[in-house]
Structure 1
Amino acid sequence: MAIAVVLAVLGLTVLSGAVGPASAAPETGTSGSDTGSDTSDQQSPSRFARIVIDSMTPSIVTTTSRPVVTVSGRVDNVGDRSITDLTIRLERGDPVASAAGLRTDLADDDPAVAVAGPFEALSDKLAPGESVGFRMSMALSANNGPDGQGLAISRTGVYPMQVNVNGTPEYGNTAQVAGSRMLLPVLSLPPDDNRADGYVDPSTEYSDTDPVTGLGPDGSVSANLSSPARMTILWPLAAPPQLAPGVLGGNTEPVRLINENMARSLADGGRLAELLTALQKVVGEPPPAQSDSVSSDTPPAETSESPEPAALPGSEKLADSMCLAIDPDLIVTVRAMSLGYEVSDNPADPRSSTRPGSGAEAAGRWLDTLRWTAQRMCVVALPYAQADLTSLSRIGNAGLTEAALRSPADIVDTVLGVRSVRGLSIPALGAIDSDGAATLTAAELATTAVSSNSVAPTGRRDDTGRYRIGDLAAQTYDAPVTASFAAIGTAPSTPALTPPDQRVDLSDESEGSRRQSAIGALAYPAIAAPEPAPTGADSRPSSRDPVVGRSAFLLPPTYWSPTSADAEALFATARLLLESGAATPTPLPNLVAELGSVREQARLIDPPGVGPVGRIGSVLTTDATASIRRNVEDSWQFEGALVRSADVAATPERYMSPLREDQLRAIRSPDAWGSAVYTHLRRTQSERIDAVSSTLHRMTRSVTILDPGGRYTLASERSPLLLVVKNDLALPVRARITTSEPADIEIGDLGVIEIPASGTRQIQLPTRGEASEAISVEIRLSTVTGVPLGEPISLSVHTNAYGKPLFYITILAAAALVLLTARRLWHRFRGQPDPADADRPEPDELERMLAGSGYQERRRTLQSEGRMHGEEPDDDPS
């Protein structure tokens, strides 16, 4: 019967123009999951209808499950034609044989059908825009359903399922008008009479047929617990960069954001709020915030303490296996928002107009909750702003690499008050090339986590997925599992490393089907136990082995957007695997410690079907690389010239670091696949580079020499040259003044001068002139680290100096004066008339009278003084 059904399925006419793989729009700085939009509503243009899955029960099959799979949902007519004679049925394929099958089995345009149920009537007619609900069930076993129909699942595994809807579109023939695919994980199977009839006790009987592994006397099939998967779950908290570029730090300028997406994401129901709220199911809820005012008649015992709400039962092991992976750029942004911020009208212009932001309160609440949660969980820091390792290698600035890879742990610890896991780098792209590996080694990071499709073992495959790659120890993880996590939530996306044959058309899948596939992907490493390793010389693993073996290192994409229902479903599945013994918790600190002893060798490769890692992860052009390198170097030079001031809380490092962080935001890895993603990254990269360049240019013009203008006259040849320097920066700056060296003037070097913040300073340049003429002098100002400041000024200086000729004339004049005076004295002492008086004319009567009157006056004065002393007057005029 089942074979006949399969043949009937293959005989159906399939619609022409099948939809190729596509990705929903990724989250970006201006759109995406932080806006709360659901990109899953996008429709494939070649489909007449769309299936919306509400639920599949059980979501994971165990021995306690009902022996029936039930799928419910609705069918929407999304075309412009009516559809008649709609029928629906449930189909399944063969169990997933490798991790890649978790996506390829969903992406195949014409999936293989192993077992299918009968078509059931759904609706006689469905007009455009109308919907019809459905609920259908099918037995797990082959013969337990109506008329002996069933899914014929007798072994554990992860099975691809499809809901298939056929109908007759108006003006068309009967065909498949809609389909929805998902994964059904089967950890174990409930009792079944038919399987019980075939039970063989291996201790007493022998069977020449291949017995069902784990089959019990009641027909149940137990989970394979012989090699529990080592489960480590990272829970990323990150967002595309939201801080507007080119803004200086240390609260010296208002915080600017490029839009209000972050505020919406942090508010109740937003993406980041949902991600954090989901963790309360694991570690418990934080206590309610205490009111600022407490009634005076309330007993202290009732207000001082309140019990913490407990996590859901069975969460202890889950909490041990989980670790918060936090982008420091996110918490830097949220902390800045909580203190008040503005939204820029033009993010590309650091001086554009702004409007008040509205998310400060939500940011404060979210950050408080994160602090409370982080102190009860493992925490690891992601690279700053998801900076690309290959881009860092191309830029080649050690300080920028340090800020991207080593400083994030310190930032996370400082803001959240925790001690994060050290030594592990988690590249945002999920893969590294040789340049990226060298960058990690140079940053003294010895361990990393990369996707398994970027690593090729050179010897035996390690069942933990851990390898030694040169100087690095790497923990690998399954990229298809990450892609399954990326597909859930409000903004489903396809990671950049996804090969074409694994790119699922997410626009065709509803939230429920995408969630069910993520559950199957999470369970896959714990369910798909590897076969025993061969004992012969050929120790290559079986093709049925998972890519990573029994390692369940689960890493969702950094910008994923699970809803609360998605998170609860993932947590419930993880709890089940841990409690059943199919998985065991492996805390991240233990994993990092164990990586140090890894011995299995591997080499880095480009992911098959994707291309070079460096080309995928980096959008840097040669010009952009040079510009970033120049901006970063200038920022360090400026920081080295700034001085901490008691009047300003900002330090030089806090003042300048936002500009370097802007350059890290400019080289973030692509978070999704698609040309639109790369176009957006290139545009924002250019804007951030230009904005930082603009700010650095503005800073150089903020410290300058005030040009006195015109001609500058010194009082003497050694008078100082008086200048005024101005500093509009928020911190004092150390600078040097240099001048041109024209002839006939010497200007001294003042050395290092400190110009006060937001003020001026008068300086005196020691000057010595050697010529009494106008001399043109060019004066420049620069930081002590060599950054030119302001515009050089040109002065016309007049020194009032005459040089050596004036000196010699002065000496000769002095000598002549001494000689002439000596000659006159010589003649006077000898009673001889001075030859210089020989040509003097004889005195006239007036001159004699004046000379005589003076003599007579002196004589009368002497006679008068003689009488006073009793002396006789002398009448002799001689």
Structure 2
Amino acid sequence: MPIRRFCALLGISALSAAFGTLSLDLTLTAAPAQAQGVAVPLDITNPSVAVQWDNPALRSDDRQSFVSMELESLPQSLSNPGDGLRFHVKLRNNGEERISNINVVLRRGEAQHSAAEMRRIMALNAGAYTAAHYQAPVDFSLEPGESREFWVEAPTNSDQPGSFPIKDPGIYPIFFGLDGTTNHTGTVQLTSQRFLLSAGPLGGTNTNPGQPSAEETHDAEESATSSEVSGTGLSLVLPLSAYVDIIPGETGEAPGDTPLVLYSDDLADQLSAGGRLGELLKTYKTYLQGENNPIRSSACLAIDPALLDAVHRMTKGYTVANSRPAIETSGQRLRDSWNSHNSQSGEHPGSGSAAAQQWLDELTSLASNTCVVSLPWANTDLNAVAASNNPWLMREALGRGPELISSILNTSTVENVVIPGNGYITPATVRSLGWATSGSAQSVTDFSTKIEKDFEAEAQRRGTQNSQDSETSLNDENMPSSAPLAPPVPSLENAVSVLVAGNTVWDSNRVDRFTQLAPGIRAVSYHASLAASLGETGEHPDTPAYANPDARYDARLDSPAARDSIAAGALAMSLTETSNQSQQHSGPVLMMPPAELSTSTAESILQTAASLYASGRAESLSLSDYLTPDPQQAAALNATPEAADNAPPTAEVGSPYPDPGIISDTEILQASREAGFSDDLTRLLSNDPTIALTRYAFTAPLRQEVLRTLSVCDRHAASTYQAAVQRTGDRLKENRERLLALGRAVTLIPPGGVYTRTSDSSPLLVVAENRLPLPVETVVQYRAPSGVTLQTPGSVRIPASGSITVQLTPKIPPEHDRTQLQLWLSTGDGAAISSPVDITVQNRANFFSTSGLALIVLSALALILVFRVGRHSKRLKHRGVSHPAAAPFRPHYPDNEQNGPREPY
């Protein structure tokens, strides 16, 4: 192993070991606003890591419970004080003892006025809920393994004895628990959950989640047109995102799209009726209908372009398989090998084309009169992409999405907006956001043409270099260096806005929700506590990096319905904060749910939004208006030092607390290698006017696969983190194997055995083969002993799916007998592509020193033998015996046989 690679590996190993030691001392205090990288993916089973996900000091009374409880239905709002509360409860005894004397216990805390304080009380035990108490017996016992369902009703009239008094409007934290008796424990708290209850006009009038009442819809429409309403501005981001399990190794085709090959039909299930994406889109349509609907004018669909691209391709048919067909080594074109059928891959046609078409039609109809904005490609982690220092990777992450969405949905998108999936950016990411700028709406063709020209210009700028390193970028053990291309600097009028949680930006020059990070790049913050509560919903609740560790606990201790009520209550409470002109959260509110939003949560928060608009507490505000500073704010931003030309970023940005779902340095390094090799492969290829496919279009899916491996999907949920890490590792490994196969598609075929030169000027002939669908412009590189040189052509153009003979002239000193050469193909700037091949060259100058002498000896022996045979033939002829070869055949017998002695020969 080369010394350079050994030292690099040693350094990584030392860094990993150091991290493993230091991780035992991790604390949950606020971190400075800077990048917080880790060497390797964190092991969630390690106690020092697990505490970042779930503080064991919180909700301690529920952690050891042997009773599971689900609140199937619960009230989220109370229209009038005194109305009854009704709960549908499902219980299961998971212990080994019978439970009797079961009581339902309701406790209430004081009305909350801050989303942050609300999150803290949600994490506390029963002792924090002292404002009211209610207890009611349950008329059954639970045997071991038994499950029961029942309804609970509690009056809230404060004048009624034994009621659960709620008489003032507000948002209240509710403790719902169960007490019971076993033979060994006596009467103990069995389990409990928390939720929020909105009382009075703040909660609206509809207590059935999922469908706004006709009265609410009418009131909302009236409030939107009434000039007397002056509530807090509320803007809604409604995400549509899902992980797409495309099998790695996809490359581009032309003129049509590359056939889609998926690992499973999971996406089809999500798009179908009853699936998450299908029901989520249906929910959006329900709440966005109506001409004067304030939700419609304030909501913006945030679409994952990778998801939309996959759905669009599904409508044309797709394949489900275990793997892609292997790339043939010879006798077949590369593009044919990928699209050929391989029975060993277990492939079969996908079943979701019709569902995909219906979903796409409904989305197109909804997007035609609704705001649309693009998420990063595959909801990738922009901080990890920036750390890879690959500009083409960042351009794919930010630039392709808006144009693709506009093309497929035939609608415009909100431009120059970046929505990081993990809610924050690092200082190293700030400058890279310039790639999100666009002067005007462009089509996908325009984007592809522009990036093709930029890549050509960058390749020419790199020039031609000579390299003696046969290692490809896939084997580079060093962390990525600085990016070769600087992103553009947007103008102040065309500034890029990045939406981040409010507690991830520290800057003395902050202007309300705006912070100028660099020339043409500004951060626009949203309510961090609200976003954290929204993230803790669904089947796999998130633990956002910006969530305060004082309130981090396993959200699955509460049922989905309870967590939905917390999210809805946090939304209403965030408007209460801003209407009170809180110093930290003054101004309008942006609702930023998790990218993989569940249907039940969407119904809950949209119902709450409808109620807030109807009550006049919220005023419709578009996303564009939320992102745009008013004249006074714009003047203050332009006066900050960060707005000056060529000013370095000075604002502190980053996660304020440890990020348990952060993508590690080892994963970033591997992704950077693969992205770099994709760039090398692109520079190797050449465009041909007779071929519709371009070189960048051919390799673009390879970069998109790297973005997919760096996706934040499932990365910030404790229940899916380990599976997400495993998926990242597996996909990076499989993608690397496909990239190596692509490299082997452009190769040298050396002459077999030892190549003997007849003279010092004799050329060395090798065949260069290209099984890619585009021509390649390559350079032959070599490694040779000291004093040996090899004259190579400056550049070799190999036709698409063809081969060419390359003539090389070695200059070998006379004292060399046999010379070992190592040859490989590289790009013009020296990046190795093909695997090296070994060739042994026999020098003619030394031919008579060893093997030549042996040949002379053999020749002499042959002449002696011929001379002796000739003399023997003459002797036989002199005796009258013809040459044995001309003598007639005569049978002969041994002397001891009856026919007598054999005749002389």
With structure 2 as the length reference, what TM-score do the two structures score? 0.66
Which residue of 582, 591, 595 maps to 2:626?
A: 591
Write the mapping of 1:392-407 to structure 2, written as runs, cut at 5 A. 392-407=385-400
* Counterpart for residue 151 of structure 1: 165
SS of 1:686 mapped into structure 2: helix
Read off the aligned partner of 1:270 and give its amino acid letter.
G
Asked if the contact 2:108/2:174 (under 8 Å) is kept, the reply is yes
Judged with a 3 Å threshold, the aligned counterparts in structure 2 of structure 1 residues 330 and 150 are, in CA distance, closer, same or farther, namely same
| Partners of 2:542 and 2:718 within 8 A in 1 | no
1:180 aligns with 2:183: no
Inter-partner Cα distance in structure 1 for 2:406 and 2:193: 44
**Could you tell me whether the CA contact under 8 Å between 2:373 and 2:413 is conserved in 1?**
yes
Within the candidate set 36, 46, 64, 2:64 is matched to 46
1:753 aligned to which of 771, 790, 796: 796
Q: Do residues 332 (structure 1) and 309 (structure 2) align?
A: yes
> Distance in 2 between the 1:336 and 1:190 partners?
43
Aligned AA (1:46): Q
1:577 — aligned with what? Answer: 612
Q: How does 1:499-518 map to 2 (within 5 A)?
A: 499-518=548-567
- Match among 295, 299, 302 for residue 322 of structure 1: 299
Q: How has the CA–CA distance of structure 1 residues 780 and 432 changed in structure 2, closer, same or farther, with 3 Å as cutoff? A: closer
CA deviations over 1:100-144 (Å, ceiling 9, x no partner): 1332222212352343354223215233413141231323x533x
Change (3 A) 1:230 1:498: same
Does the 8 A contact of 1:525 with 1:550 survive in 2?
Answer: no
For residue 616 of structure 1, report the CA deviation from its aligned partner. Answer: 4.6
Deviations 1:154-175 (A, max 9, x none): 2x43211222332223433223
Q: Map of 1:196-235 to 2, 5 A cutoff?
A: 228-235=231-238
Map 1:71-82 → 2, pairs under 5 A? 71-80=86-95, 81-82=97-98
Decide whether aligned partners of structure 1 residues 484 and 190 sit closer, same or farther in structure 2, where only a CA change above 3 A counts. closer
What whole-Å deviation, never above 9, does each CA across 1:43-72 have from its counterpart, x for those lacking one?
966224444334344x3345xx57414222
Q: Which residue is equivalent to 1:133?
A: 150
> Partners of 1:746 and 1:476 in 2: how far apart?
61
Residue 794 of structure 1 pairs with residue 839 of structure 2? yes
Q: Deviations over 1:499-531 (max 9, x none)?
A: 333235433322332222222122222344543
Say whether the 8 Å CA contact 1:476–1:548 is kept in structure 2: no
Q: Which residue does 1:213 correspond to in 2?
A: none
How do 1:483-632 and structure 2 match up within 5 A? 483-528=532-577, 530-531=579-580, 541=582, 547-563=584-600, 566-594=601-629, 597-598=633-634, 599=636, 604=652, 610-611=657-658, 616=660, 618-621=662-665, 623-632=666-675
Give, in whole Å, the separation in 2 of the partners of 1:148 and 1:173: 25
- TM-fit CA distance, 1:378: 1.1
Cα 1:435–1:787 change in 2 (3 A) is: closer
Question: Are 2:291 and 1:248 equivalent residues in the alignment?
Answer: no
Task: Kindly indicate whether the alpha-carbon contact (under 8 Å) linking 2:778 and 2:827 is maintained by their aligned counterparts in 1.
Answer: yes
SS in 1 for 2:153: strand
Give the alignment partner of residue 751 of structure 2, picking from 705, 708, 722: 708
State the SS of the aligned residue for 2:112: coil
State the 1:755 CA deviation: 1.8
Seen in structure 2, the aligned counterparts of structure 1 residues 443 and 514 have a Cα distance that, compared at 3 Å, is farther
Contact 1:705 1:781 in 2 (8 A): yes
Alpha carbons of 1:443 and 1:695: their partners in 2 closer, same or farther (altered >3 Å)? farther
Letter in 2 for 1:575: A
Which residue pairs with 1:39 in the alignment? none
Per the TM alignment, residue 718 of structure 1 is displaced from its structure 2 partner at its CA by 7.9
C-alpha change, 1:60 and 1:649, in structure 2 (3 Å) is farther
Q: What is the deviation of 1:559?
A: 2.0
> Which is greater in Rg?
1
Distance in 2, Cα, partners of 1:404 & 1:255: 20
How large is the Cα RMSD of the aligned pairs? 4.2
Q: For residue 262 of structure 1, give the secondary structure of its aligned residue in structure 2.
A: helix
Distance 1:604 1:574 in 2: 33
Selected match of 1:113 from 123, 129, 152? 129
> What does residue 221 of structure 1 align with?
none
Kindly provide the amino acid, as one letter, of the partner of residue 165 in structure 2. L
Q: Gaps spanning 5+ residues in structure 1: where?
A: 1-24, 27-42, 192-224, 284-310, 533-540, 803-878
Does structure 2 conserve the Cα–Cα contact (< 8 Å) formed by 1:526 and 1:550?
Answer: no
Structure 2 partner of 1:261: 266
**Structure-2 separation of matches of 1:770 and 1:502:** 76
SS at structure 1 position matched to 2:77: coil
Change (3 A) 1:226 1:174: farther
Cα contact 1:780–1:793 (8 A) shared by 2 = no
Alpha-carbon distance between aligned partners in 2 of 1:634 and 1:259, rounded to the nearest angstrom: 28
Matching residue's letter, 1:136:
E
Task: Write the distance in 2 (CA, Å) between the matches of 1:459 and 1:762.
Answer: 65
User: What is the alpha-carbon distance in structure 1 between the residues aligned to residue 811 and residue 424 of structure 2?
Assistant: 66
**Are 1:277 and 2:290 counterparts?**
no
The match for 2:364 among 356, 371, 379 is: 371
- Structure 1 pair 734–365 and aligned structure 2 pair: CA distance change class (3 A): farther
TM superposition shift of 1:733: 1.4
1:449 aligns with 2:494: no
Render the CA deviation track for 1:753-803: whole Å, top value 9, x for unaligned. 3322222334566999999x9996956533334343343453648899x9x
Question: Could you give the per-residue CA deviations for residues 833-875 of structure 1, whole angstroms, max 9, x where no partner exists?
Answer: xxxxxxxxxxxxxxxxxxxxxxxxxxxxxxxxxxxxxxxxxxx
In structure 1, C-alpha distance between the alignment counterparts of 2:428 and 2:753, rounded to whole Å: 57
Per-residue deviation, residues 392-428 of structure 1 (Å, max 9, x unmatched): 3332222222222333323333333332111221111
Asked if 1 retains the 8 angstrom alpha-carbon contact of 2:262 and 2:320, the reply is yes
Q: Structure 2: 5+ residue runs without aligned partners?
A: 1-42, 45-60, 205-227, 328-337, 339-343, 435-486, 490-494, 641-649, 848-905
Aligned to 2:333: none
TM-score normalised by structure 1 residue count: 0.67
Q: Following the alignment from structure 1 to structure 2, what is the Cα–Cα distance between the partners of residues 258 and 332?
A: 16
**Distance of aligned partners of 1:644 and 1:505 in 2 relative to their CA distance in 1, 3 Å threshold:** same
- Distance apart, 1:275 and its partner CA: 1.8
SS of the residue 1:760 aligns to? strand
Report the AA paired with residue 312 of structure 2: R
Q: How many residues align?
A: 673
Cα offsets for 1:268-312 (capped at 9, x unmatched): 2112222222222144xxxxxxxxxxxxxxxxxxxxxxxxxxx3x
For residues 229-255 of structure 1, the C-alpha deviation after alignment (integer angstroms, 9 at most, x for no partner) is 211111111223522323333379764
Counterpart CA distance in 2 for 1:190 and 1:576 is 7
Shift of the 796–580 alpha-carbon distance from structure 1 to 2, 3 Å rule, reads same
Identity %: 25
Residue 587 of structure 1 deviates from its aligned partner by 0.9
User: Taking structure 1 as reference, are residues 605 and 715 closer, same or farther at Cα in structure 2, changes over 3 Å only?
Assistant: closer
Please tell me whether residue 696 in structure 1 is matched to residue 696 in structure 2: no
Distance 1:531 1:745, change over 3 A: closer
CA offset digits 1:1-42 (Å, max 9, x no partner): xxxxxxxxxxxxxxxxxxxxxxxx99xxxxxxxxxxxxxxxx
What is the distance in 2 between the residues matched to 1:75 and 1:720?
A: 84
| SS in structure 2 of the partner of residue 411 of structure 1 | helix
